[in-house]
Amino acid sequence: MTRQDGSLDALNFFLADVRDGLGPYLAIYLLTVQKWDAASIGVVMSIGGIAGILAQTPAGNFIDVTRYKRAAVIVAAIVVTACCLILPLAPGFLPVAIAQSMAGIAGSIFAPAIAAITLGMMGPKAFTRRTGRNEAFNHAGNAVAALLAGGAAYFMGPIAVFYLMAAMAVASIVATLIIPAGAIDHDVARGLDDGSHHGNARPAGIVALFEHRSLLVFAGSVVLFHFANAAMLPLVGQKLALVNEGLGTTLMAACIVIAQLVMIPAALLVGAKADDWGRKPLFLAGFLILALRGALYPLSDDPYWLVGVQALDGVGAGIFGALFPVVVADLTRGTGRFNVSLGAIATALGLGAALSATFAGLIVVMAGYSAAFLALAAIAGIGLLIYAAFMPETKPVSGQDAASIVGQTRPS
């Protein structure tokens, strides 16, 4: 293992518990401690998600041009953590909505920053392998954090997750500082020069990127994937909390640990085989597993069943997390617009996730949890069909450049 691999491993491991904020733990905390209803929880989580959506593309553009990528990660980690720690002190709807909005905006930095740092350190030839490894260490960090959260919550209650997040934020800052600033090639980090253009290429026009049909199809696909996926885990957490309020957070931690442990080999498999097998078969498998998961949840309210089905999330989300930046890199190779494109596609991803919480919460209020799970499964099925029919294989062949990927040559 090289020093570069070790520094990226540490960054992804410790940042895992910070980059998503409180995530599903927020729903449990608001439901069991603050006694919010499911619809209100869905709305406030959607507000935070929408704020993050609006920041995604500017965040990607910022990461493209800045040479202070490490500092961006550190500041974002501090802001996200502070916004979460303030919630027990101000649990009203408006303060929670504001805090979640600020956390969403700051959190938009993480995905493009980590992808850019990885590409700038490792180069395009090693990017697929390293991205799979990034995701594996991210999931390992989530699993360890969830184990700690579950144990601490058993003795301290849901408030324990706030203290854990603060500790992981400090560790993630230290991990970021371990990465030498000089190890990042900022031209390569934006996908501008892979060595074949002798450093003379300039960024392509942004309009040309978003006229590209495959980028638009991919954006639509990730909307459907996350619309179907994002609300499932919070809904499972709510069901577990209603069955046994005292163990709600601990059972949620079990769900997360099992899924994260499954995600590790799934992400490593993508990193090892996506260049051989192609991206499309793996992505279709992720959609299929997501649809199956939504259809299985309503079959039983038994906590063991719910936690077991949640393990499927590890396969679907593990595949998606490792493939997402790889496919965007395929579609933007050589253009110099990798991170802004990643941010723009992440906007679509965030849109699906934000709308998912409100959609599912309203269905729960009107028709119950089973109906919500089946509706989400149907959306995943639609996404599967669209991706199969309209999304091409994006794995580049030898010698393929930006002109053939994006459909337009770079400016001279």
Q: Indicate which CATH number applies to the domain containing 265.
A: 1.20.1250.20
Can you tell me the distance from the alpha carbon of 369 to that of 133, in angstroms, rounded to the nearest whole number? 35
Q: What is the per-residue pLDDT for 206?
A: 59
Element (H, E) at 40: helix 38-65
Position 196 confidence tier, pLDDT thresholds 50, 70, 90: very low
Which carries the bigger pLDDT value, residue 20 or residue 268?
268
The tens digit of pLDDT for each residue in 346-400 reads: 887 777 777 888 888 899 889 888 999 999 999 999 999 999 999 999 887 654 4
Task: Determine the pLDDT at residue 268.
Answer: 92
Quick check: is 194 in a domain? no
Residue 402 has pLDDT above 90, yes or no: no
Residue range 181-187: mean pLDDT, rounded: 88
| pLDDT for 411 | 37
Q: What is d(CA 73, CA 68) in angstroms, rounded to the nearest whole number?
A: 9
Q: State residue 3's pLDDT score.
A: 66
Q: What is the SS3 assignment for 282?
A: helix
| pLDDT for res 399 | 47
Q: Give 302's pLDDT tier (boundaries 50, 70, 90).
A: confident
Task: Give alpha helix (H) positions in 179-302.
Answer: 186-189, 206-210, 213-229, 232-243, 248-277, 280-296
For residue 195, is it within any domain? no
pLDDT average, residue stretch 61-75: 92
Mean pLDDT of 252-272: 84
Choice between 30 and 195, residue whose per-residue pLDDT is larger? 30
Considering 54-63, 93-102, 182-191, 287-296, the range whose residues carry the highest mean pLDDT is: 287-296
For residue 190, is it within any domain? no
Measuring CA to CA, which residue among 216, 355, 382, 358 is closest to residue 290?
382
Band of pLDDT at residue 407, cut at 50, 70 and 90: very low
Tokens of 96: 């929670």
Give residues with Cβ within 8 angstroms of 277, minimum separation 6. none
Residues 6+ apart with CB under 8 A from 3: none
Task: Answer yes or no: is 56 within a domain.
Answer: yes
pLDDT band at 330 (very low <50, low <70, confident <90, very high): confident
State residue 150's pLDDT score.
72
- Band (86; pLDDT cuts 50, 70, 90): confident
Residue 274 in domain: yes
Instruction: Report yes or no on 299 lying in a domain.
Output: yes
Whether residue 193 is contained in a domain is answered as: no
pLDDT at 383: 94
| Residues 147-168, mean pLDDT to the nearest whole number | 77
Q: What is the Cα–Cα distance from 163 to 22, expressed in whole angstroms?
A: 11
Average pLDDT, the chain: 82
For 87-91, 95-99, 210-214, which range has the lowest pLDDT when averaged over its residues?
210-214
So what's the pLDDT on residue 371?
A: 93
Residue 404 has pLDDT above 80, yes or no: no
Domain that holds residue 281: 3-184+204-406
Whether 306 and 300 have beta carbons less than 8 Å apart is answered as yes
Residue 196 lies in a domain: no
Residues in the chain: 412
Contacts of 203 (CB under 8 A, 6+ apart): 64, 190, 192, 335, 336, 337, 410, 411
pLDDT above 80 (res 324): yes
**Complete DSSP assignment for 65-132:** H-S-HHHHHHHHHHHHHHHHHTTTT--SHHHHHHHHHHHHHHHTTHHHHHHHHHHHHH-GGGHHHHHH
pLDDT of residue 409: 37
- State whether the Cα torsion 301-302-305-311 is positive or negative: positive
For the chain, how many structural domains are there in total?
1
Residue-level pLDDT at 319: 92
Label residues 122-145 b or e (16+ Cβ within 10 Å = b). Answer: bebebbbbbbbbbbbbbbbbbbbb
Distance, in Å, from the CA atom of 251 to the CA atom of 394, rounded to the nearest integer, reads: 39
More confident residue, 243 or 174: 174
Per-residue model confidence as pLDDT tens digits over 9-64? 999 999 887 877 666 677 777 777 777 877 778 788 778 778 888 888 899 989 98
Indicate the range of 39-48, 204-213, 245-254 predicted with least confidence. Answer: 204-213
